[in-house]
Copies of this chain bind each other. A is one copy, B any other.
Amino acid sequence: MSILIKNISEIYTGEELIKDGWIAIEGNQITALGKGSPGLAEQNYTHVLDARDKIALPGLVNLHTHAAMTLLRGYADDLPLQEWLEEKIWPQEAKLAGEDIYWGTKLAILEMISTGTTTFMDMYFQMDQVARAVEESGIRAVLSEGLIEANDGEEGLRKSLEFCKNWQGKADGRIRTMLGPHAPYTCSREYLIKTGELASANNLFLHIHIAETRKEYEDFLNNYDATPVQYLNSFGFFQNRVLAAHCVYLDEKDLEIFAENDVNVAYNPGSNMKLGSGIAPVIEMLEKGINVGFGTDGTASNNNLDLIEEARMGSYMQKVKNCLPTALNLDDILKMLTVNGARALGLEETGRIKEGYLADLILVNIEDSTHFYPHHNNLSNLFYAGSGRDVDTVIIDGRLVYKEKEFLTLDKEEIYYQVEKLRKKIFA
C-alpha cells in the first residue's frame, strides 16, 4: 500500500510546524514530506488523501493502560481506593475469561484509534487475547503481563516470558513485549531480581507501577526505611530498562536515580486525579532530563482513553500544582505524546513525521467544530479546547485504519454487541 496526503493545512512533525504540506508513504514508512505541491505522480499511489482543512500529527502514544478494563468503565466510581479495588474491581476481573479480555481490548482499541492513539503499552492478563486483538485491528502495541507474585508465582513468570518470546515482533513488527512485574508491593525483592535477570537475558524492558499512592510511599519508608524507588534501586532493578507508571511520590534522590538510569515515566493525570492519588512531579522530572510521556491508565479509573484530553488535564494539573501558567506548555505536551512516548517504549522509529520513520500518523479536522474557531492556533485549539474526537483519519504502520471517522479494520457494531452481551452475562 502507498498513500499520498496532499494539501495538509499544517503538519506538526514532532519537531516543527510545516504550513501547507504533503506526506508520502510507501509500505510502512514515511518516504517523503514537504511544503506546497508534492510534485509526485498521484497515479503511483494506492490512496491519495486530500487533507484540506486538516492538520497532521504523529500518532499519539499511550504509555500505560489496562485496555480490557473498558469492560469495567462506569461500573464503580467515587469510592475509596481499597473498597473500589477489593469489592468492585478485583471480584469482577476474576470473572473475566479469555474471550472477554479479547472483546474488552477490542473496545479499547476502537476508542484509541478513533481518538488518535497509534501505539499503546498494555499491562493486563490473558495477554494472548490482547495480542490477538492488536494483531487483527492494525494498531501498534507493547504488551506485558501484569505479574502479581501471590497469584502468578514462578510459573506465571515463566509463562509471561514465553508470551514475550512468542509475540515479540509479530503482526509485521507491530507487537513488542515487555515483562511486567506489577509493583514493588505485590512482588518480593527476590521475584523482582529474578524478573530483572530474565529481562536482561532476553533483551526485554520492564513495565511496573511505582509510587502511585501516598500509602505505598509511606509503607516503604516504614518497612524498608527507603522510598519505593530507592528500595528498587538497592537491588539493581533500574539496571534494566524500565518504564515506570505513575511515580506520583518521588523525592529528590528518586529523581536522581531515574535520571542516572534513564528510567522512563508514564504520567497518568486522569487516573491520579480521579483516584485521589496525587500530582506527579512532572516539571521536576523534565528539568532533570527524565523522559516522561502520558498514559491513560485503565478506564475504570479515568474513564476514557482519550490522550488529547489526558494531555490537557496533565498540563492543567502541573500549572495549578505549581501555581505557574507556563508549566507543561503546548510544546511540552505535544512532545510527550509523540517523541517521548516512542522513546519510552524503545520505538525510536516512530513518534515523528519524518522521512524513514514508520508511518504512524493522524489527521485532525479543523473545519467542522466550533472550538476550532477562530483559527489563531490550531494545535492550541486541539489540545486546549478539543479532544480525540476531532481525529478524522488514522494511519498505522502505513495502513489506513480509520478514514473520515469510519473504522476500516474493526467492526464497531459487532464489538458493541459483544461487550453489551458480556455486561449482561457477567455483571447481572
Contact = CB atoms under 8 A, between A and B. Distances in A.
Contacts of A326: 78-80
Contacts of A427: 374, 376
Contact of A374 (B71, B77, B80, B309): B71
A356 interface: no
Contacts of A309: 309
A303 B371 contact: yes
A5 interface: no
A260 B270 CA distance: 36
Given A74-B376, A74-B385, A275-B319, 12 more contacts: A70-B374, A73-B376, A73-B385, A75-B377, A77-B329, A79-B325, A114-B370, A214-B323, A299-B385, A302-B385, A303-B380, A309-B309
A423 interface: yes
Oligomer copy total? 2
Nearest to A387: B387
Interface size class of chain A, counting residues whose CB lies under 8 Å from the partner chain: 35 or more
Given A77-B380, A77-B384, A329-B78, A320 B373 contact: no
A384 B274 contact: yes
A299 B385 CA distance: 8
A384 B309 CA distance: 12
The 3 lowest CB-CB distance pairs between A and B, nearest first, are: A273-B316, A74-B380, A78-B329
Residue among A75, A330, A373, A375 with max Cβ neighbours from chain B (10 Å): A373
A114 to B, nearest CB: 6
17 contacts: A73-B371, A74-B374, A74-B377, A78-B330, A79-B326, A107-B370, A107-B373, A110-B370, A270-B316, A273-B316, A273-B317, A277-B323, A299-B385, A303-B381, A304-B385, A309-B309, A376-B423
Contact of A325 (B275, B317, B375): B275
Interface in A324-374: 324-327, 329-330, 370-371, 373-374
Interface string A61-84: 000000000111111011111001
A370 B80 contact: no
Interface stretch (A16-24, A235-243, A414-422): A414-422
A37 B210 CA distance: 54
